[in-house]
A and B are shown apart, each in its own frame.
Chain A
Amino acid sequence: MATTATGTTPFTYDHGHEHVDDRSFIRKYIFSTDHKIIGIQFLIMSLTFLLLGGMLAMVMRWQLGFPGKPLPGGTLLPDTYTSGGVVLPEFYNSAVTMHGTFMVFFAIMPLLVGVFGNYLIPLKIGAPDMAFPRINMASFWTAVPAGLLMLAGFFVEGGSAAAGWTSYAPLSARSDLTGVHLGQIFWCVSLIVLGLSSIMGSFNYITTVINLRAPGMNWFRLPLSIWALFVTACLVLLAIPVLSGAAILLLFDQTIGTHFFDPQAGGQPLLWQHLFWFFGHPEVYILILPGMGMVSDIIANGARKPVFGYTSMVLAIIAIGFLGWGVWGHHMFQSGMNPTLGTTFMISTLLIAVPSAIKTFNWLGTIWKGQITFHVPMLHALAFVSMFVIGGLSGVFMAASPFDIYIHDTYFIVAHLHYVLFGGSLFAIFAAVTYWYPKMFGRMMNPTVGKVHFWLTLVFYNCTFFPMHQLGLHGHMRRIYDPTQYAFLKDLQPVNTFISISAFLLFATQFIFAANFIMSWFKGEKAPNNPWLDNGLEWTLPSPPPHGNFATVPTVYRGPYEYSSPHSDQDYIPQNVPTPGGGYGAPHTQPAGD
């Protein structure tokens, strides 16, 4: 048996070294075990769901902006959805529910974790693939049926689930309350199956990061994107089973007559909320941490400067990972939970704003005294910072429990969650997709089109979601089908119309991105290995990298953010380039107190 220079047999998964790739088309692109292909598969799946979720949002915005007016094309839909083209409450509730469910579980989460977890982790740590490539493949092929099942809800009697993405019991548990039976069951089963996919993914990522780092890639040379994805994977690993458990209990209540959430038999509706949010708050960090990490990489690159306060960035990620478990009660301030707990959850929630603030200040520190290049990914990353600030600050209003009495379940919450999830996560996703697109597909996206898409998105996005704060401050409830029912909301109708028009424009703008994405795949300029002059290991490889990634295991000499270093005449030094003097490179000296 061959031995390598270190006198040991090659690591089991290193067999991809010979570059003859004779896998069949199916093994290569469909049932592939290559993390890069799986990442791209997740990308296609989740962008599809992003589109579907967006379409549902358009339905809702039509109804809210123009209540009672026939939806354009609405007459083409079945009678259970529309009547004379007008959206029915049944369809509205199903759209509210499936929009949230698609976006959270089938778009943002797989985009961040499934796509970039898969694509970046092995490349950035210098590994040939994930620790368990076949489990990785299984993870994707479990997510697909889960998504199809969720979609199937639209085609069965009673329609899709309609109890909100949070599926509060007993509404979700009793079909006589919603009129939806199969759809609710599909919702539970789909999330249980998706949970399996997420768990397979997450323990794979964690194992990979712990055990497969290239020599020299110690914990404090990991890019922040990898730190964030690592902590995210830990959160997925530990939070998802709680959701699965809760969904199983709900499924049993729906199907075999158990009574977990049925008050008549002593069951507790609030139990669902506790389980759901015990999962749910870590989940919202699952939805933002990878974005924060990737944005950190991109901002350092765009500013041509080391990330400011790398250590505190890492500590902030870890702090979020821990604190995120102790704040779920802030979703339940008005639920009838013991009010003493309310105070505790208020303080813990306010404290969790601190690590987010630390990260924001460090991003500012990173661009401070930089040489900022405004490439498209950088624009999106900067938008992430400025939009996430708004979402984080609006969180403080809701964390203050007395004021939450007033704004809970109003459009203020909707504004908050879209500032963190669209302004935050989705801008981070745009940044990341445009940044790593050349590596993934070997071609550049068109930067001019990218800039047009960016600016239009930024403007329409703010026109859509910013006024929602004001709606909330005026008491506008969320998830209502027809706001004009209430006298005190009638005057707000013009705001609703304005929001709807902005939303349509925002949606339309995304087709620019779609066109750029698809066209560049075929017609884009050929990408060099390192178009952004980045230090990460993935940029030392061809675009796209071959199966098995690295021909020889790279050795890492320094952290990923050595931009504009005086040790080099270029403004970057890739992580695997030895310092002229040999050895492991200059240690990171942190200028003490400036």
Chain B
Amino acid sequence: MAHAAAIHTEDVMLPPPAREAGAGVYTEKLGMWIFLGSEVMFFTALIGTYVILRFAHPSSWKNPGEVLNIPVTAVNTFLLICSSVTMVKAFAAVQDGLLRQLRLWLVATCIIGASFVGVQVYEYTHLIEKGFVPSEGLYGSTFYTMTGFHGFHVTMGVICMIYVTLKAFRGKYTQADHRGVEVIGLYWHFVDLVWIILFTIVYLI
């Protein structure tokens, strides 16, 4: 096992061998980078829509805090940032071959990620009870679409994260080969980054 791992260090996490020089990274990682390019365009479309509609009708936008509960979301933002930190920790752990810590940090990431979604659901139910629904003008339309699709991405991320965690518990990741951990991490940080942008423009400005 240890021996096999030693051989693996050379190749699995590197570009495929016996090939013409490619991007200099292994295929799963490259694929995730490229996929994230697509995600960037998707969120650009949503954010662009928001910017265009808002600039054309500044008056139909409520002031920060008037409708949305900023403190709750600020806490939620903090949660998501924490989950990025735990993700980094998980990756660092597996790089050092600390598999127990890897599992721990992955579990933490799953839990915090799921809590983020939970808080968002809580936020939505309250807003809807207060009568702030998606059909509530452009403000409601853009708010729910943008935060909703981000939430959807986090949810997808949590599902994949749980899958990766289960694999970690089954001992599928080693110091030599932990592609899954790195790749889900890339996605996770991306979604986190998108949230920071969304939080700023939707809640704070």
User: Chain A interface (Cβ within 8 Å of chain B)?
Assistant: 1, 3-4, 6, 8-12, 131-132, 199, 202-204, 206-207, 210-218, 237-242, 244-246, 248-249, 252, 256-260, 265-268, 271, 274-275, 553, 556
Contact = CB atoms under 8 A, between A and B. Distances in A.
Given A242-B44, A252-B134, A268-B56, 11 more contacts: A9-B17, A11-B17, A12-B27, A210-B30, A217-B20, A237-B41, A241-B42, A242-B41, A249-B145, A275-B48, A275-B49
B93 to A, nearest CB: 24
B60 A256 contact: no
Contacts of A216: 20
5 contacts: A1-B4, A203-B38, A216-B20, A248-B149, A259-B141
Given A199-B38, A260-B141, A266 B56 contact: yes
A258 B142 CA distance: 8
Contacts, number: 147
A237 B38 contact: yes
Nearest to A125: B20
Interface string B18-62: 111011001100110011011101101110110011001100100
B134 A257 contact: yes
Contact of B20 (A206, A214, A248): A214
Contacts of B15: 211
A260 B49 contact: yes
A6 B42 contact: no
Nearest to A199: B38
Contact of A199 (B8, B11, B35, B140): B35
A213 B22 contact: yes
A244 B133 CA distance: 23
B64 interface: no
Contacts of A214: 19-20
A3 B138 CA distance: 61
Contacts of B60: 265-266
Contact of A211 (B10, B19, B140): B19
Contacts of B22: 210-213
A332 B153 CA distance: 33
B30 A211 contact: yes
A202 B12 CA distance: 23
Contact of B38 (A6, A10, A238, A266): A238
Contact of B37 (A1, A4, A12, A238): A238
B180 to A, nearest CB: 13
B42 A245 contact: yes
B7 interface: yes
A133 to B, nearest CB: 11
Nearest to B54: A266
B135 interface: yes
Given A211-B30, A212-B27, A275-B45, A267 B138 contact: yes
Given A252-B134, A256-B135, A212 B19 contact: yes
Contacts of B118: none
A206 B27 CA distance: 10
Contacts of B145: 248-249, 252, 258
A38 B18 CA distance: 26
A8 B17 contact: yes
Interface in B132-161: 133-135, 137-138, 140-142, 144-145, 149
A453 to B, nearest CB: 38
Which 4 A-B pairs have CB atoms at the shortest separation, nearest pair first? A257-B135, A245-B45, A258-B141, A241-B42
B171 interface: no
Contacts of A267: 53, 138, 141
B13 to A, nearest CB: 11
A266 B53 contact: yes
Given A11-B17, A211-B16, A241-B38, A246 B45 contact: yes
A260 B139 CA distance: 10
Contacts of B7: 1, 3, 9
Contacts of B142: 260
Contacts of B37: 203, 237-238
Interface core residue of A6, A207, A237, A249 (most chain B CB under 10 Å): A207
